[in-house]
Structure 1
Amino acid sequence: MKKVVVLCAVLLGVLSCSSDDNAPPPIVLQLGDLHEGGIIFYLDETGEHGLVCAMEDQHFEVYWGCETAAIDGADGKEIGAGAQNTLDIADRCKGTEFAAELCIDYESGGFDDWFMPSIDELKVLSLNKDLVDEALEKNSGKTIDDAEYWSSTEASLNTVYFQFMGANPDKYIQTLRDESKMNVRAIRAF
């Protein structure tokens, strides 16, 4: 009797597997695809998760955050740190229009979980700028300017990392956050 039960379970497993043969093939994501409100510029090793950039800049020549306020946190450089950095900035800088707030307030494609990229996220966006710009043009977006863009990563108490998009993506620079205005483009994770 036990052998029959095992055989039925195996047989049912085989039958249920055969119904999967009719399932649609999985979606394969690629850099430059329009996906979940933006253009994919980074995919993790699984190819199922990554980062998209917004279809347009959120502002040109805006301050990074509030003046002279010490920010606890906002120092993560790595991919995956931008969202927390942005929240740290917004938590400290209330009531003023600044880059991190513009990213948090941004809504597009039915998504409202946008943030300012960490310096490593911004660097990857810069490395893939040509591919992203081509996809933005194809999908009625606005290309990334050859200009300075804020990251959400503080370098020290008064300095912040930024990236000049379009030239030397391997090098990012620090600047005084209270004296400079730069562009900002939101990103989101999926």
Structure 2
Amino acid sequence: MKKILLLLVFVLISCSKDEANTNSEPDFTLPTITISNPTFSPAEFKFYGNVTSVGSGYSSRGFCWGLNINPIINNNNNQYLTEFTNTAGNFFLTKPYGTDFTPLTTYYVRAYVQANNGDVVYSENITFVTPPKMNLTGSAKKIHTTSLTLSGTVMVNQLEPILPDKKGFCYRTSSGVTVTNGQIIEMNTTDYATYELTPTNLLSNTIYYAKAYVREGASIYYSDEFQFKTAGAIGTSGGYIFYDKGEYSDGWRYLEAAPNNLTYNGSDKILWGCMGTAVNQTQASMGFGPSNTARIISQCSSANCAARLCDNYSINGLSDWFLPSDEELFAFYKSANNVYTIANASTSAKYFWSSTEFNNNEARILDAYDGYLWDYDKNYNLVRVRPVRRF
């Protein structure tokens, strides 16, 4: 009898265990997620994550950020982005740079997934710093002895309305320049387009420190400080460097004038040459002096024409001289004015030839005392020539 009772107890216990095993649910596994550094393009953040395992399933994923470590979702002190999906792999979400972010502020950010059981799984923390409200850059070009052109570029990073009042530049001869301790040149504005301004009355052959800036009410935004040096240094030839275009391109940056005017058979009065013959295709713009000179020489056989004399000129081992174009010749005058004396009021001592032809009988001429340019007979015999080189 005892044996029968024991057998029944064993059977009941065994059946109870089998039933329990049959009705139990499998263990729930949570998804896993990682995060990568966010990126920024104008007015937009892009956050990157990777769901490395979906586990037993999830319903949404995204990113949350805040000023303190371990930001979470559904918290009024933090912000977050969500998308509803359940796939594995890399993903990204974007957020406009608006009033939700403070400029130049460090934020903590985490990626997350919300599992099907309601649990939220977070990645590790990473940090990012929001960019300034706007980025400014400044540069110098068309540099003469006492003036130049400053160029400013503004890139607005935020989407919120911005109302500029003025754009400008501040500059001085030592670093650390601001609008309060340097000279300024500015313009009224209502936009952020690229702008150019021209400071004058600078010191020749002098290094300046400058910044571009934008005023918006009481706020002032600056570019990084940059440098430029005004023209006027003495070059290798012994003449002065009268122009700096601000950067090297097409094999050159600077223009240097010869130390003296040319002479031919004891006279400094030179003919342009080829009266009545059209050279054609000479240009007036900056940078065309060498090609103008080469074309004149190829079309004009006169031994004493201005272009050929410049091409044959040599001093201090330098032989790369040319007759300057219209604009190059004017830059020579502009830089010499109030710094170097290249002409006086006398009719016989103030005219210079350019390499820019006007027609069969005329070429462009400069009054280097008053700065006027006009067309004159190629055989006019009271004109000087100053060779120019570039490097």
- Fold match, TM over 0.5? yes
Residue matched to 1:115: 322
Provide the residue aligned with 1:31 in structure 2: 231
Q: Which one has a bigger Cα radius of gyration?
A: 2
Q: Scaled by the length of structure 1, what TM-score is found?
A: 0.72
Superposition pairs of residues 122-161 of structure 1, within 5 angstroms = 122-130=329-337, 133=340, 143-146=341-344, 147-161=350-364
Match of 1:41 among 211, 235, 242: 242
Q: Which amino acid aligns with 1:73?
A: Q
RMSD: 2.0
Structure 1 residue 42, shift from structure 2 partner? 0.3
**Aligned pair in 2 of structure 1 residues 39, 131: CA closer, same or farther (>3 Å)?**
farther
**Counterpart Cα distance in 2 of 1:61 and 1:81:** 24
Pairs aligned (count): 151
Offset at residue 144 of structure 1 (A) = 1.9
Q: Deviations over 1:60-110 (max 9, x none)?
A: 211102232221322x11110111111111111124212111101110121
SS of equivalent residue, structure 2 residue 247: coil
Deviates more, 1:110-119 or 1:175-184: 175-184
Bigger shift: residues 93-102 or 114-123:
93-102
Equivalent AA in structure 1 for residue 367 of structure 2: F
> What is the alpha-carbon distance in structure 2 between the residues aligned to residue 46 and residue 87 of structure 1?
25
Q: Against the structure 1 CA distance between its residues 158 and 144, is the aligned structure 2 distance closer, same or farther, given a 3 Å change threshold?
A: same
Question: Given the superposition, is the C-alpha separation of residues 69 and 132 from structure 1 closer, same or farther in structure 2, using an over 3 Å criterion?
Answer: farther
* Alpha-carbon contact 1:64-1:100 (below 8 Å) kept: yes
Q: How does 1:43-122 map to 2 (within 5 A)?
A: 43-46=244-247, 49-59=253-263, 60-74=268-282, 76-122=283-329
Report percent identity of matched pairs.
28
* Native 8 Å contact 1:57 1:144 kept in 2: no
Contact persistence 2:275–2:360 (CA under 8 A):
no
Counterpart position of 1:23: none
Structure 2 residues not aligned, in runs of 5+: 1-227, 345-349
State the 1:132 CA deviation. 5.3
Equivalent-residue separation in structure 1 for 2:376 and 2:262 (angstroms) = 20
Kept after mapping to 2: 8 A contact 1:39/1:132: no
Q: CA deviation at 1:44?
A: 0.9
Provide the secondary structure at the position in 2 that maps to 1:45.
strand
Higher helix residue share: 1
Q: Which sits farther off after the overlay, 62-71 or 116-125?
A: 62-71
User: Are the equivalent residues in 2 in contact too, given 1:31–1:40 (CA < 8 A)?
Assistant: yes
Task: Return the alpha-carbon distance in structure 2 between the equivalents of residues 95 and 78 of structure 1.
Answer: 25
Offset at residue 32 of structure 1 (A): 1.0
Decide which of 167, 174, 182 is 2:383's aligned counterpart.
182
The answer on whether the counterparts of 2:234 and 2:241 sit within 8 Å (CA) in structure 1 is yes
Q: Whole-Å Cα distance in 2 between the matches of residues 90 and 102 of structure 1?
A: 10
8 Å Cα contact 1:51/1:189 also seen in 2: yes
Matched residue, 2:121: none
- The aligned amino acid for 1:36 is T
Question: Any conservation in 1 of the 2:325–2:354 contact (CA below 8 Å)?
Answer: yes
Q: CA deviation at 1:158?
A: 1.8
Q: Which amino acid aligns with 2:233?
A: D
Between Structure 1 and Structure 2, the one with more strand by share is 2
- Structure 1 residue 51: Cα displacement: 0.2
Higher relative contact order (CA 8 A, sep 6+): 1
Q: Could you tell me which amino acid in structure 2 is paired with residue 39 of structure 1?
A: Y
